[in-house]
Amino acid sequence: AVVSTQSTGHYYITNNLRMARLTLEQHPGKLVQYMIFRNVRNISELVTLLKAGKINSVLLSEHIVVSPLHIAVAANRALHNQKNGTMKTKSINTEIILCLSPNNNISQSLARLGLSINSYNVVSLSIADSEAELAEKIHDLKSKIKADLVNDCRGFQYDDYEVYDVYGISKEELSIDSLENSVVTRIATKV
């Protein structure tokens, strides 16, 4: 079903709202799907698995994710970088995290936007070339993440002040347009 969100005006195909698929028009062969997990009980195990390279999806801390558009802009750029051979990191997953960051410092980006021991809610993002590959990644995530999968993943619980801090958003900026648009412009125009 195609769902239209009134507040943001954009739509994405969702499977019963527990997982949202982002249609990236510039990457027609790619399937991009995210899920939100709350009250994660095995965060240190997940961090260890991530560091060991055992998770083949992007894991983000929910508190700095503003909206699906936020994720889409980063994923779009990362996928272009992968296609052009201009990735600054070693994998598409870390590249997406770098693209979410307001700067080009890889270690800082992974620390601030990726998963840390202090994270309590997780957003997972999986990129695949086929339904089978995607299903496998989703299954893998569901088995490894011990948390509650949210029933409606259209709204993110982000920490306003953390987002303003990470992206350097001023009060003046918030008065003219949405936080989502400010954050998205920041990451899209980063050189």
Partner 1 sequence: MATLISQGAEGRLFETTFLGKPCLMKERFKKSYRHPALDEKLTNKRIALESRALSKCRSLGIRTPTVYYVDYKTNTIYMEYMKQTSILKDFIEKHVESGQRTLLLDLCYNVGYTIALLHNGDVIHGDLTSSNVLVMKRNEKHEAVLIDFGLTTNSSLVEDKGVDLYVLEKAFLSTHPNSQDLFDKILAGYCSIAKCQKAVVSKLC
Q: Is 6 in the site for partner 1 (CB under 8 A)?
A: no
Q: Is 68 in the site for partner 1 (CB under 8 A)?
A: yes
- Give the range of 57-65, 74-82, 103-111, 134-142 binding partner 1 by CB under 8 A: 74-82
The label of the residue with tokens 């009060």 reads: 171
CB 163 within 8 A of CB 64: yes
Q: Is 182 in the site for partner 1 (CB under 8 A)?
A: yes
Q: Is 1 in the site for partner 1 (CB under 8 A)?
A: no
Q: Is 131 in the site for partner 1 (CB under 8 A)?
A: no
Q: Is 172 in the site for partner 1 (CB under 8 A)?
A: yes
Please say whether the dihedral angle defined by the alpha carbons of residues 34, 121, 178 and 71, taken in this order, is positive or negative: negative
d(CA 42, CA 144) in angstroms, rounded, equals: 9
Tell me which H or E stretch contains 113.
Answer: helix 106-113
Which residue in 72, 92, 138, 166 binds partner 1 (CB under 8 A)?
72
Size of the site for partner 1 (CB under 8 A): 33
CB 75 within 8 A of CB 32: yes
Class of residue 145 by CB neighbours under 10 A (exposed 0-12, middle 13-18, buried 19+): buried
Which residue in 6, 143, 151, 189 binds partner 1 (CB under 8 A)?
189
Which residue in 61, 76, 93, 124 binds partner 1 (CB under 8 A)?
76
Q: Is 7 in the site for partner 1 (CB under 8 A)?
A: no
Q: Cβ 52 to partner 1, closest distance in Å?
A: 32
- Give the range of 36-44, 52-60, 76-84, 145-153 binding partner 1 by CB under 8 A: 76-84
d(CA 142, CA 15) in angstroms, rounded, equals: 15
